[in-house]
Structure 1
Amino acid sequence: MFRFQRAIALGAVMGLAACAAPAPPELLTADGVERASVDREAFPEELATFRDSALRLGDALLASGEGNVIASPGSLLIALAMLRAGASGEAAAEMDALLGLPVADRDQAMNALLASLEEYDGDPGSVDEENPPAKPLVHTANGLFVDKNVSTGQGYLDALAEHYGTGVHPVDFRDEAVTKPAIDAWVNKNTGGRIEKAPAPYDPNNTFSLLNTVYFAAAWDIPFDAEGTSDEPFTTAAGGTIDVPMMHNMQEMAYAEGPGWQAVDLPYGEGFVMRLVLPAEDSDGGAGALKADRLAEVARALDAANPEDVDLALPTWDHKSHFDVRAILEQLGLEKTLNTTRDFDAIQQGLMITQAAQDANITVAEKGTVAAAVTQINGMATSVPPEPARSISFDRPFHYQIVHVGTGLPLFMGKVADPR
């Protein structure tokens, strides 16, 4: 069974039952395990692999929806990497091959990636979303809710604590009245209230729920003038024309173009950009034709581009999406990963992935951008539960002996007909 830093580990979760509006449970980590310190510069190839993998995941997420879609391939990548940390056998090989995850130093490299994001960490609840912060605030959180009645592998918990900073929360999934509010409260807190509930339907048969959240808030390096925003025509994917609020700005930014596309990197205050890619008017499939390989080409071109003055017109938008991630992973071919009952034994005996889902939203306006996402991967331990301990009650007349074990000699022997 897992160990925790506090003997009263359940108290933070169980106390939620008494509150009408429960606070998130206290963050706990595996006992005695400190987050490893890593150097991002030591993993250039692995980080490039993560980028390419995230582009493929983003491609699959966007392809699953119609119309306006907002997804977080980064959140899904982190959640899948956390799951991969407990995989073995065919599932591990399949995840590496189909998701394009690094074979060596995967967890260490993900630790470096997360540490780089943590340089911008802050409290999502402190953000005034009408006035996003000049320095981007990026809050990522990894959480693991495990059933306290099922043994969870200590090695897995240690790996999550060492490389992912994952908080572990022991709960009783059969007690929906306590556990569901606890999970929802964790999501709410770590997305600054932009997402109030976990994305997967609650199932009391689950014994494992892995979550990642990503919250982003940042002002543009040069804000758009609200007075310059006006309703202008926008041609929809269906070919119709509508009027939408269109922002305008002239500023220096990276610009690149290639066969069938133009792109810019619109900068935030520091450390982040919004990459905007415009397909050619005669592009077959429009934005939907921008698959992972083309987006990787765009990324390389913009990385090499010199900044130049660009006259930019950009609409405002406020969108949200929900994804059945399990169905998307099935389409990617992760058959063994999603159906095995033995390759995740390092997490829980007989663990089978039952659900995977993501919610994401974004608001883009003259002052900046605010976005949030949560990815959830749930599982159920399917191994046959141990036989219940035998019970015996001496509630009627019985015999007894006092026996010397070494010789078997009964020093005393008796019977109890009435113990009074």
Structure 2
Amino acid sequence: MGLAACAAPAAPELLTAHGVERASADRGAYPDELASFRDSALRLGDALLASDQGNVIASPGSLLIALAMLRAGASGEAAAEIDAVLGLPETDRDEAMNALLASLEEYDGDPGSVDEDNPPAKPLVHTANGLFVDKNVPTGGGYLDTLAKHYGTGVHPVDFRDEALTKPAIDAWVSRHTGGRIKKAPAPYDRDNTFSLLNAVYFAGAWDVPFSAGTTFDAPFATPDGVVDVPMMHGMQEVAYAEGAGWQAVDLPYGEGFVMRLVLPAEDSDGGAGGLKADRLAEVARALDAADPEDVDLALPTWDHKSHFDVRAILEQLGLRETLSTTTDFDAIQPGLMITQAAQDANITVAEKGTVAAAVTQINGMATSIQPEPAQSISFDRPFQYQIVHVGTGLPLFMGKVADPR
């Protein structure tokens, strides 16, 4: 596999797999695999939301895409563990993910072009996959081919020990692909890393039927700590509505292609909103998919929230212990690669005109078999000699020895 350079503003040189074209993908060919991805994302969403009892905004879709990219370079126990824990398709995993990404790319655009006070009537959905690798460590050609063929990404070779250049480059990638809503990579920078995989998702869309600002007024909202008054939007809308044991739900549509699925647990339900687990949410999805639109009188608060997740800890709780400890099962990516960090930042703004949201997932690793040469170090902590030298002639004007500096 050869690599060819192409331009990548505000980032180090982007190398793409020479001669490897992005594969065409039809989502109609992968109905079972896409259903598996939905269930996997709901399972990941469960784990993300359970990590905080307060306001939470997460992107299970972003995390799923990042983990699928990592899985593309996994083997052995780690590969089997990822498949089992996430319930990923047994075959055509990368091909189906390519189809999923291609479907989202129908709505692609520049996040920086969005007036977030007036979200676009046709939703703008921007997804980006990025890979930063240490240029001193070999990265598997087959892995890079897979990323190019099915995930539409190349690789940015950097020197992770040069924090002054590499950290701003990664942060610039994050900011550019989230329209500046997220300005820095979610994981703390570590000079010992040799691998950083990123996925960014940005969404901006106007409601199909916007709420009138004139019908937004303060109304009671029952928080876990008591009732408070919050700005509440009101409107009669024709939407898909469904209900089941312990829940009601609606699909509130954007201009096209996307809905906000709102699920309200019954007042006496166990666990409240936190009790809505993946199996129940899959039941909600099936019910709403089959529901006919009907008139619904909606009352919905506005909100503006952000969250940060230590995804590595969450993945460990899910059972990905071998994946997070192995130094052999990701050799197809880098020799002895060990996952060192995983994190996600996400935010969302919901108001009368629509919704704007962004998320970045980052998975970092360190090659343990081949490391960049460490910087030289020297400590004058024992007797030493010194000279004062004239550089032009090499003449030692003074020469001495320190046996005890006291």
Q: 2:240 maps to which residue?
A: 254
**How many angstroms does 1:31 deviate by?**
1.6
In structure 2, give the amino acid aligned to 1:195.
Answer: I
**How many angstroms does 1:30 deviate by?**
1.5
For 1:206 and 1:288, the matched residues in 2 are separated by: 35
CA contact (8 A) 1:29 1:165 kept: no
**How many angstroms does 1:385 deviate by?**
5.1
Structure 2 residue aligned with 1:264, among 250, 262, 266? 250
2:23 maps to 1:4: no
For 1:150 and 1:3, the matched residues in 2 are separated by: 16
2:197 maps to 1:210: yes
Q: 2:342 maps to which residue?
A: 356
Q: 2:294 maps to which residue?
A: 308
Rate the CA distance shift 1:137–1:386 in 2: closer, same or farther, 3 A: closer
CA contact (8 A) 1:237 1:286 kept: no
Q: 1:382 maps to which residue?
A: 368
For 2:110 and 2:373, the matched residues in 1 are separated by: 46
Instruction: List runs of 5+ in structure 1 lacking aligned partners.
Output: 14-22, 389-420
Q: 2:383 maps to which residue?
A: none
Q: Post-superposition, which runs of at least 4 consecutive aligned residues in structure 1 deviate over 6 A? A: none
CA contact (8 A) 2:14 2:157 kept: no
CA offsets, 1:196-239, max 9 Å, x none?
A: 0000000000000000000000000000000110000000023x
CA contact (8 A) 2:199 2:360 kept: yes
Q: 2:165 maps to which residue?
A: 178
CA offsets, 1:346-386, max 9 Å, x none?
A: 00000000000000000000000000000000000000559
Structure 1 residue aligned with 2:80, among 73, 93, 96? 93
Name the SS for the 2:181 alignment partner. coil
Q: 2:68 maps to which residue?
A: 81
Structure 1 residue aligned with 2:143, among 153, 156, 159? 156
CA contact (8 A) 1:255 1:306 kept: yes
In structure 1, give the amino acid aligned to 2:291.
Answer: A
In structure 1, give the amino acid aligned to 2:294.
Answer: E
Name the SS for the 1:255 alignment partner. strand
TM-score, length-scaled by structure 2: 0.90
CA contact (8 A) 1:214 1:373 kept: yes
Q: 1:401 maps to which residue?
A: none
Structure 2 residue aligned with 1:189, among 141, 156, 176? 176
Q: 1:275 maps to which residue?
A: 261
For 2:18 and 2:224, the matched residues in 1 are separated by: 53
Structure 1 residue aligned with 2:127, among 140, 156, 163? 140
For 1:207 and 1:324, the matched residues in 2 are separated by: 19
For 2:215 and 2:228, the matched residues in 1 are separated by: 19
Q: 2:275 maps to which residue?
A: 289
CA contact (8 A) 2:130 2:198 kept: yes
**How many angstroms does 1:135 deviate by?**
0.1
For 2:243 and 2:81, the matched residues in 1 are separated by: 35
| Count of aligned residue pairs for this structure pair | 374
Name the SS for the 1:30 alignment partner. strand
CA contact (8 A) 1:62 1:71 kept: yes
For 2:325 and 2:268, the matched residues in 1 are separated by: 43
Q: 1:200 maps to which residue?
A: 187
CA offsets, 1:233-268, max 9 Å, x none?
A: 000023x01000000111110000000000000000
For 1:188 and 1:164, the matched residues in 2 are separated by: 20
Rate the CA distance shift 1:233–1:356 in 2: closer, same or farther, 3 A: same
**How many angstroms does 1:103 deviate by?**
1.1
For 1:204 and 1:31, the matched residues in 2 are separated by: 29
For 1:125 and 1:352, the matched residues in 2 are separated by: 35
Q: 1:127 maps to which residue?
A: 114
**How many angstroms does 1:65 deviate by?**
1.1
For 1:170 and 1:233, the matched residues in 2 are separated by: 53
Name the SS for the 2:345 alignment partner. strand
CA contact (8 A) 2:137 2:372 kept: no
In structure 1, give the amino acid aligned to 2:296.
Answer: V
CA offsets, 1:24-44, max 9 Å, x none?
A: 345442122110001110000
CA contact (8 A) 2:137 2:371 kept: no
Rate the CA distance shift 1:65–1:151 in 2: closer, same or farther, 3 A: same
Q: 1:61 maps to which residue?
A: 48
CA contact (8 A) 2:136 2:372 kept: no
2:103 maps to 1:104: no
TM-score, length-scaled by structure 1: 0.87
Name the SS for the 1:173 alignment partner. coil
Instruction: List runs of 5+ in structure 2 lacking aligned partners.
Output: 375-406
CA contact (8 A) 2:161 2:192 kept: yes
CA offsets, 1:60-81, max 9 Å, x none?
A: 0000112000000000000000
Structure 1 residue aligned with 2:357, among 351, 368, 371? 371
Structure 2 residue aligned with 1:243, among 223, 229, 236? 229
CA contact (8 A) 1:24 1:189 kept: no
Q: 2:380 maps to which residue?
A: none
Which of 229-238 and 136-145 deviates more? 229-238
